[in-house]
Amino acid sequence: MNWAGWLYFPARLAWRQLVFDRTKLVAAICGVLFACVLVFMQLGFKDTLYASAASAPLKLDGDLFLMHKQSEAMWRPIQFKRSELMRALGNPAIAEAYPLYLGLAPLKNIQTQTKRTLMVYGFDPDSLLFNVPAIRNKYTELRLKDTILFDEYSRPEFGPVRQLLEMGQNVTEINDYKVTIIGLFQLGVSFAADGNVITSDLNFMRIFPRRNLENIDMGVIRLNPETSVESVQAELKSHLNAFVNVFTYEELLRHEKDYWANTAPIGFIFGFGTVMGWVVGLVIVYQILFTDITNHRNEFATLKAMGYEQGYFIRVVFASASFLAVLGFIPGYLLSLGLYNLAESQMYMPMPMLISKIITVFMFILSMCFMAGLLAIRKLKDANPADMF
Amino acid sequence: MSNIIEVDHLSFSFGSGALTQPVLKDVTISLEQGEIVLITGPSGSGKTTFLTIIGGLRQALHGSVKVLGHQFINSNEQIKVKTRQQIGYIFQQHNLLKSLTALQNVCMTLEINTTMTEQQRCDRAAEMLIAVGLGDRLDYKPDQLSGGQRQRVSIARALVGQPKIILADEPTASLDKQSGYEAVNLLKRLAKESQTTILLVTHDYRILDIADRVVELEDGMIK
Ligand SMILES: Nc1ncnc2c1ncn2[C@@H]1O[C@H](COP(=O)(O)OP(=O)(O)O)[C@@H](O)[C@H]1O
Ligand SMILES: [Mg+2]
């Protein structure tokens, strides 16, 4: 028997049996679709979570970063002494070292006067710590007293800041301290903060009166050109106090991501949701395949009596599983695409439908259907032609 | 070897130990090519069991069963699968595939070995359906056919592969007198044309006259 026939005939029979019972086909497709959407959403949320967690550190312009060992993430830092950062300057490979001050504080909506918490970044404007043009261009204005830059991508609850600025309404309060918004930049919200504000280190201390310049949240280090980041990192680790972490850029990104993945078990929740989607879909598809085999038991036994081998029926079952995977995936993908857009508009976080994610989810659904097929083929043994006469 | 089926001292029982229930006892029979043999006997006498052993669907351990030259006692599944492909079956229930049309059902016999093209298979199956008088029902699903028509489709399905042997188990049981008689006569006529051997189980005494030989089975023994 040639190869095409080996797969084509059982696949064709599977197809004919599937389309014969439209009601059951629709039910099966809905099951796969459901699993598909669930997995798409869980993976989408997870990726968005990780991407947003790394959105601020991603824009930091530095080679090495100092953080207290107990700082679980940038949004909940533990302070350490500025002198620790200054000691690092003794290393000849290090060109510059700047403190970064971080704090959560409520910002008053200029229109509604309601307050909502956002993230405040404070640093020496001359250090140009953020690799964002809109921030860098304003470094001279940021030196002025009580000035801030506002993240345009913050949640809308802070008010239509762009329009307000155009109308000249630029005075608001952070932490009950009066400030002037002198411009906008674009960074993006995260699961920890609904918005972002950038200000100078001196203004930061005015906004947070209980903070002082000597206690810093992060240290950003720039190296001289053509020095090895790893070797300087190793030197700093051995010279500095044991309570500071010395991260490279990549390690900092991973540290922020790992917080959500491991410390705050949100990553786990999404992973769990993904697995649940897989299991629910598996059960549904298994049920469909299982009852299908039961209903066609007599037909399969008849074919066996006619000389069809066991392998043929296994191929029929797997072909059915593959058809269900494809037929459920296509509407599942389209529905998810719509839901991604909806989620983006609700969360104000990017939720891109990447090719890699489409492939991942399809493989996921395919594996789910194959697993269901694998469980269902045990039922084929019941199709015993000796009981047919 | 002129005998298509050769059964020698075949014994068979269901169950084991104290629950052993002997069904076939020392059965000896042989069928020549082109012969039509009817097996009759009361219900529970072992007719169906006998047919499933000849068809290689049930494994017997004692005696000798040679079908188309292959020994079935203690043989492996592979030989039986190959032999089954040269046997046409007609069941009491039509056992057609519900989701396939009459034509597609008949084609299923030809799809086991794919030396033919799709066109050739369809032509052959259509010819066969015309021969059983269903030329105008090719694209009907089993649900849309009457009992007699379904049984004729299964006759076409059994014959289309040009089998050496037809095994039929009470093919008329679910049909009324008229269509049952027509179906069996049709089977006989087509089988005689192609020199096909038929082993047919029935306790329908109205159709005994189609047989070359009638064998009676009682309590697992040939009378
Ligand atoms: N799968 C089975 N397991 C146990 N006993 C069976 C089985 N099939 C048939 N029998 C028994 O074997 C005997 C012969 O059955 P069968 O060959 O079906 O007779 P017939 O077809 O002549 O009516 C009956 O007593 C029946 O109860
Ligand atoms: Mg019987």
Q: Min CA distance, A372 vs chain B (Å)?
A: 23
Alpha helices (H) along chain A = 3-20, 22-53, 55-58, 82-88, 133-136, 139-142, 161-166, 201-207, 229-239, 249-258, 266-295, 297-305, 310-347, 355-376
Whether A190 and A75 have beta carbons less than 8 Å apart is answered as: yes
Sequence ranges of the domains in chain A = 3-53+265-388, 70-242
Whether A185 and A47 have beta carbons less than 8 Å apart is answered as: no
CB contact under 8 A, A302 and B97: yes
For residue B51, which phi and psi values (nearest 5 degrees)?
A: -65, -40
Of B85, B91, B98, the CB nearest to A388: B91
Whether A197 and A147 have beta carbons less than 8 Å apart is answered as: no
Instruction: From B12, B14, B47, B57, give the residue whose CB has the most ligand 1 atoms within 8 Å, as the site to mutate.
Output: B14
Q: What is the pLDDT of residue A3?
A: 66
Whether B128 and B137 have beta carbons less than 8 Å apart is answered as: no
* Beta carbon of B43 within 6 Å of any ligand 1 atom: yes
Q: What is the pLDDT of residue A102?
A: 94
- Burial group, residue A135, by CB count within 10 angstroms (0-12, 13-18, 19+): buried
* Rounded Cα distance, A154 and A176, in Å: 19
pLDDT digits 0-9 by tens, A223-242: 998 889 899 999 998 888 88
* Distance between Cα B48 and ligand 2 center (Å): 4
> Residue B159, SS3?
helix
CA-to-CA dists, residue A290 to A183, A361, A378, B138, angstroms: 63, 24, 9, 31
Chain B residue nearest residue A299, CA to CA: B97
Q: What is the pLDDT of residue A345?
A: 86
pLDDT higher than 80, residue A134? yes
pLDDT higher than 60, residue A1? no
pLDDT higher than 90, residue A143? yes
CB contact under 8 A, B108 and A306: yes
Q: What is the pLDDT of residue A189?
A: 86
Q: Please state the length of chain B.
A: 223
* Rounded Cα distance, A253 and A249, in Å: 6
Query: Residue range A304-328: average pLDDT?
Result: 93
Residues of chain A above pLDDT 90, percent? 60
Q: What is the pLDDT of residue A389?
A: 62
pLDDT digits 0-9 by tens, A279-295: 988 998 999 889 988 98
* Rounded Cα distance, A334 and A336, in Å: 5
Query: pLDDT tens string for chain B (223 positions)?
Result: 468 999 999 999 998 888 889 999 999 999 999 999 999 998 889 999 999 999 998 988 899 999 999 999 988 888 888 898 899 989 887 689 999 999 999 999 998 876 888 899 999 999 999 999 999 999 999 999 998 899 999 999 999 999 999 999 988 887 888 888 888 998 899 888 889 999 999 888 888 888 999 999 998 888 8
CA-to-CA dists, residue B15 to A299, B18, B52, B73, angstroms: 27, 8, 16, 18
Query: Residue range A135-155: average pLDDT?
Result: 92
pLDDT higher than 70, residue A40? yes
* Rounded Cα distance, A258 and A256, in Å: 6
* Rounded Cα distance, A46 and A165, in Å: 35
Strand bridging mode A115-123 / A147-151:
unpaired
Question: Band of the pLDDT at A215, cuts 50, 70, 90?
Answer: very high
Nearest to B137 by CA among B70, A291, B146: B146
Q: What is the pLDDT of residue A190?
A: 84
Contacts of B111 in chain A (CB under 8 A): 5, 9
* Average pLDDT score over chain A: 90
* Rounded Cα distance, B190 and A137, in Å: 95
Give the pTM.
0.82
Residues of chain A above pLDDT 70, percent? 98
Of B48, B55, B99, the CB nearest to A20: B99
Query: Which atom of ligand 1 lies nearest, measured to the CA of B42?
Result: 22
CB contact under 8 A, A307 and B51: no
Region for B187 from its dihedrals, namely left if φ exceeds 0, alpha if ψ lies in -120 to 50, beta otherwise: alpha
Q: Which of B52, B87, B164, B200 to substitute to test the interface with A, most A CBs within 10 Å?
A: B52
Instruction: From B10, B39, B40, B49, give the residue whose CB has the most ligand 1 atoms within 8 Å, as the site to mutate.
Output: B49
* Rounded Cα distance, B53 and B12, in Å: 9
pLDDT digits 0-9 by tens, B208-218: 888 999 999 99
User: What DSSP line would sit under A124-169, residue for residue?
Assistant: -GGG--B--HHHHTTHHHHTSTTEEEEETTS-GGG--HHHHHHTT-
